[in-house]
Amino acid sequence: MATKRKRLIVVVGPTAVGKTAMGIALAKHFNTEIISADSRQFYREMSIGTAKPNADELAEVKHHFIDTHSIEEEYSAGDFERDVLLLLQTLFEKHDVVIMVGGSGLFVRAVCEGLDNLPKAPVAVRDRLNSIFEREGLAPLQRQLQEVDPHYYNDADIHNPQRVIRALEVYEATGKPFSSYRVRETIARPFEIVTIGLHTERSKLYERINLRVDMMVEEGLVDEVRSLLSYRNKPALLTVGYAEIFDFIDGKVTLEEAISRVKQNSRRYAKRQITWFKKYGNTVWFEPEERERIINFLT
């Protein structure tokens, strides 16, 4: 008799759409565990600005890759791919289904398709590029990327500092464009992958994003960012919710302006996430309230 194939259910979508709640509901239904594929929730020092599941949510279902690393450590999508595949071997011994939840497209792709074998750049190269970003913003780095690697520039999320800096790192370390290392060959996995996308009308999503940012500020986002000042050049902190508050702490903008920018940049990030996941794989899309319909689709 044929052995039943194990299944990884991946829940993706834009920030604030309700992925955490959906992941928990599905994990309870299938009596299984959750892998977080959010590239910032790994870090213990980053909680409020990353909208980690709260203590009650973490108690409902066992989560993996939440608070597993320090911001002082480098943890790449390639590291995540390796660690998740090892973990899945163990989880699939106990469960037929495992849930993975996240909005970080590159980390989701790493697990589902595999990544190309990219070279590591010297720390000095990264530090210099980060310094340019801190002093002059993203624009000069975007222009440099367009010049040295127009193919990747036209294909990538060029508004994501981590992606731009990573591509320039590889170019400066090797003399070859980042795009030349991207083979784009999907690596077959020994388990079935089903990807569920959550999306809702733009006005509703933007309202949820604005509300979430207000809650983050009330919960102490500014103090959290202030506690991370000595790590501000780390890639995980060159992101929405942190970069804008650093500008406030530096006296470049008022707190009101910084909060407004967090909301605006979160909305822009959500649009980029939607674009990424709509191009990605065989994602089946649902409204976040359609829990019963999603469960029926999966069973």
Q: How many domains does the chain have?
A: 2
Verify that 200 and 65 share a domain, yes or no: yes
Verify that 81 and 139 share a domain, yes or no: no
Question: Are the beta carbons of 279 and 292 closer than 8 angstroms?
Answer: no
Assigned domain for 164 exists: yes
Assigned domain for 166 exists: yes
Range of the structural domain that residue 81 is part of: 7-114+193-219+274-298
What CATH number corresponds to the domain at position 155? 1.10.20.140
Phi, psi of 284 (to 5 degrees): -105, 125
Query: What are the pLDDT digits (tens) for 52-71?
Result: 999 999 999 999 999 999 99
Verify that 211 and 67 share a domain, yes or no: yes
Phi, psi of 195 (to 5 degrees): -110, 120
* Token reading at 268: 């822009």
Positive or negative CA dihedral for 73, 77, 80, 86?
negative
State the pLDDT at residue 1. 39
Rounded CA-CA distance 245/92 in Å is 41
Assigned domain for 177 exists: yes
Assigned domain for 230 exists: no
Rounded CA-CA distance 166/157 in Å is 12
Query: What are the pLDDT digits (tens) for 144-199?
Result: 999 999 988 887 778 888 889 888 988 888 888 888 876 566 788 999 999 999 99
Boundary (domain end) residue, out of 161, 181, 201: 181
Query: What are the pLDDT digits (tens) for 254-274?
Result: 999 999 999 999 999 999 899
Angle at 102 between CA 123 and CA 36, to 5 degrees: 80
Enter the pTM of the model: 0.86
Q: What secondary structure does DSSP assign to 82-93, as a single string?
A: HHHHHHHHHHHH
Rounded CA-CA distance 63/65 in Å is 7
Verify that 199 and 167 share a domain, yes or no: no
Verify that 139 and 31 share a domain, yes or no: no
Verify that 128 and 173 share a domain, yes or no: yes
Question: Are the beta carbons of 191 and 88 closer than 8 angstroms?
Answer: yes
> Which segments of 4-115 are extended strands (E)?
7-12, 34-36, 63-64, 97-101
Verify that 64 and 155 share a domain, yes or no: no
The one-letter code for the residue type at 42 is: F
What CATH number corresponds to the domain at position 91? 3.40.50.300
Question: Are the beta carbons of 45 and 231 closer than 8 angstroms?
Answer: yes
* Token reading at 125: 């190269």
State the pLDDT at residue 135. 86
DSSP H helical ranges for the chain: 19-29, 55-60, 77-94, 105-112, 123-136, 139-148, 150-155, 161-174, 202-219, 221-226, 243-249, 255-279, 291-298
Verify that 280 and 155 share a domain, yes or no: no
pLDDT exceeds 90 at position 4: no
Verify that 101 and 163 share a domain, yes or no: no
Verify that 11 and 92 share a domain, yes or no: yes
Q: Which of 28-32, 99-103, 127-131, 294-298 has the lowest mean pLDDT?
A: 127-131
Verify that 81 and 206 share a domain, yes or no: yes
Assigned domain for 140 exists: yes
Parallel, antiparallel, or unpaired for β 34-36 and 63-64?
parallel
Rounded CA-CA distance 158/180 in Å is 17
Assigned domain for 244 exists: no
Q: What secondary structure does DSSP assign to 143-166, as a single string?
A: HHHHHH-HHHHHHS-TT-HHHHHH
Task: Share the mean pLDDT of the chain.
Answer: 92
Verify that 176 and 131 share a domain, yes or no: yes
